[in-house]
Chains A and B, each alone.
Chain A
Amino acid sequence: MPSQSLLSPPEWDALRLSLEVALRSVLFSLPFAVLLAWLLTRGRFPGRSLLDAFVHLPLVLPPVAVGYVLLLLFGNRGPLGGWLHERLGIQLAFTTAGAALATAVMAFPLMVRSIRLSLESIDRGLEQAARTLGAGPLDRFCTITLPLMSPGVIAGAVTAFAAGLGEFGAVITFAANVPGQTRTIPLALYTAIQSPTGDARALRLAVLSFMLGLLGLLLAELLARHARRKLGR
């Protein structure tokens, strides 16, 4: 590969890991984000404001604090992590899956926000029309609501993916900085900066981050535009 001259094997690892972690985090959190966006938009229940605030917490908390809370909960001796480890043999702390979880939690508010905006803009009259045509609740959701909110879902997923590529604080706290396991681009960048001989590496990784982020945002806009055009807006 000609590009091998551009990046060293550890840097390739970091790129591959970043993509994997971001992708897994999006796939894992998307159904929950849709559900929560639905609850927060359409639900009428006590404690809705509290739930709303809770979902948005990662936006305002120090990422390190989020990682620490995750460590307390999902660490091998934590209440949830212990159960997962003993019963299912799943270890999250200090693994790639753990990095994906930390990333998912951090990007979750972004995703919910985007989905929620598109859900709020849906004309409820269309759902009523579907109802008079014989569609029950789940049927309506799958055939009318979900397709109509798809621009927001896509935009939310891509934005969360792009943001997930760069998640640092929560990942390093919860999943540590294990080469080939949890050392994503930002962690590799941090490591390079710490090293006295890492200037060139740091620069390459910074440029890589920059390009990935730009690409992700452009892609989000493009997909959203395509989806809107399909809906005739």
Chain B
Amino acid sequence: MHTKQFLSPADVARELDISTSTVLRLIHSGDLPAIAVSARIYRIPTASFEMYKAGTLTRPTTAPLGGSKARPEIGRGERLPAAAHRPLARAR
């Protein structure tokens, strides 16, 4: 069991006894979930790695239909910004 939140590709390679480039291939193919913290640096969430090892990563399924609900109030409580300038419609 890992205590770190994220693992490096090298950590995963060591544990699976494969090369780092193979780990990167797994990441690029989408078989191993990872986050790109920069253009070239990846981190594998420990939870994702545990699921990968256990074979419990899921493939997309079709979401069920729900019932009638109240429409979400998106932006509720936000103070909308005041315009910095008005459109030119009133310009003479």
Is A bound to B? no
Contacts from A to B (Cβ < 8 Å):
none
